[in-house]
């Protein structure tokens, strides 16, 4: 097997690159690329805005206790592990790929992708590939060095790994026999006449931090606070608050059929004319639930958007 070695962080390297922690500020890395907009929107919803002229990699945070820098998501896990930054946002695939020794504080569940193994559709499986290229090594192309080498070893392939830098799906069949890439729907692979033959892992955007930073009581408190606020905001996006009036006669039927987080909140209407019922309900239940509530006797139904849920 011909396997390209992946760069490692040696003990000597760790020793000569001490963490650069600010006593006063939390050093945060923000990702470039497609996940940046969602991350910045989420941070804005918890009160953190980042101001930039569009060219600087050092946006100014409205919270002056946060020192931010914009980096490629691929660079963030290793730099956070080394202590060059306290925390950051990156894909779980890059944490695994780099074997980064970091703490995951929150799965934001943004941009879910699968890391898959794909090959030209005329081959379709590894057995057929072996038959076609029995006289040479298989070429495996990917941005993921570690994940690819693990796959090569596990599959027992006589393979050469080729590092790519984007547009991996364009290489087969002339320049690669197998590609290992991330995909959300598989559409791009399909358009390039590739079929998925294996799935290595699933990945989403994660909020990670440096282990030593998390040992600092002040920074740990702030990191936990940020994670809690982001989690509460993400959870709120999955639910709405329903408020409705219900007569005495319809009360039990409505309550029995109304989903809620723990139990609905109930208040009596003036002069014994019924009840007000409130409940936080999953957004995906609303289309079917609202007609059902009306049929059961609920009236004056209000639907509110939630900002935070702290369960």
What integer pLDDT is reported at residue 125 of this predicted model?
66
Percentage with pLDDT > 70 across the chain: 88
What integer pLDDT is reported at residue 2 of this predicted model?
44
What domains are there in the chain, each with its CATH number? 11-112+204-235 (3.40.190.10), 113-203 (3.40.190.10), 238-305 (3.30.70.120)
What integer pLDDT is reported at residue 128 of this predicted model?
64
Beginning with the edge strand found earlier in the chain, give each strand of the sheet holding 298-305 in spatial order: 265-268, 275-282, 239-246, 298-305
The encoded tokens of residue 305 equal 């958007």
pLDDT tens for residues 111-131?
Answer: 999 999 998 887 766 666 666
Q: How far apart are CA 48 and CA 39, in angstroms?
A: 11
Residues found in the chain: 311
What integer pLDDT is reported at residue 310 of this predicted model?
87
What integer pLDDT is reported at residue 7 of this predicted model?
55
What integer pLDDT is reported at residue 22 of this predicted model?
46
- Using omega within 30 degrees of 0 as the cis cutoff, is the peptide bond preceding 33 cis? no
What integer pLDDT is reported at residue 188 of this predicted model?
86
Going from the first residue of the chain to its last (311 residues), give the mean pLDDT of each consecutive group of 10, the final group possibly shorter.
Answer: 50 47 79 92 95 84 94 96 97 96 97 93 69 76 95 88 91 90 88 89 97 96 97 95 96 94 93 94 96 96 93 78
Distances (CA, A) of 21 to 29, 48, 208, 269, 284: 13, 21, 16, 57, 43
Q: Tell me which residue has tokens 């050093």.
A: 27
The encoded tokens of residue 256 equal 């029995």
pLDDT tens for residues 240-290?
Answer: 999 999 999 999 999 999 999 999 999 999 989 999 999 999 999 999 999
Task: Find the farthest-apart pair of alpha carbons in the chain and give their distance in angstroms, rounded.
Answer: 89
**Contact criterion met (CB below 8 Å) for 118 and 61:** no
The encoded tokens of residue 231 equal 């989690």
């Amino acid at each position: 097997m011909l396997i390209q070695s992946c760069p490692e962080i040696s003990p000597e390297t760790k020793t000569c690159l001490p963490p650069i922690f600010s006593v006063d500020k939390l050093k945060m890395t923000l990702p470039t690329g497609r996940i940046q907009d969602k991350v910045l929107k989420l941070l804005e919803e918890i009160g953190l805005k980042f101001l930039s002229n569009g060219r600087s990699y050092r946006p100014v945070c409205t919270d002056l206790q946060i020192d931010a820098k914009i980096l490629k998501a691929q660079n963030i896990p290793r730099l956070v592990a080394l202590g060059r930054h306290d925390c950051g946002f990156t894909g779980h695939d890059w944490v695994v790929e780099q074997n980064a020794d970091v703490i995951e504080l929150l799965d934001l569940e943004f941009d879910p992708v699968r890391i898959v193994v794909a090959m030209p559709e005329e081959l379709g499986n590894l057995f057929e590939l072996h038959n076609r290229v029995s006289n040479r090594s298989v070429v495996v192309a990917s941005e993921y060095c570690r994940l690819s080498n693990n796959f090569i070893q596990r599959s027992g392939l006589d393979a050469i790994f080729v590092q790519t830098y984007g547009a991996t799906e364009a290489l087969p069949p002339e320049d690669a026999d197998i590609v290992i890439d991330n995909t959300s729907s598989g559409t791009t692979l399909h358009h390039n006449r590739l079929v998925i033959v294996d799935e290595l892992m699933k990945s989403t955007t994660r909020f990670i931090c440096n282990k030593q930073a998390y040992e600092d009581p002040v920074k740990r408190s702030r990191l936990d606070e940020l994670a809690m606020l982001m989690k509460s905001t993400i959870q709120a996006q999955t639910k709405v608050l329903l408020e409705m009036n219900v007569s005495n006669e319809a009360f039990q039927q409505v309550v029995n059929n109304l989903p809620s987080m723990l139990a609905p909140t109930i208040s009596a209407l003036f002069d014994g004319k019924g009840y007000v019922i409130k409940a936080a309900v999953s957004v995906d239940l609303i289309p079917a639930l609202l007609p059902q509530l009306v049929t059961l006797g609920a009236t004056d139904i209000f639907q509110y958007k939630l900002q935070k849920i702290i369960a």
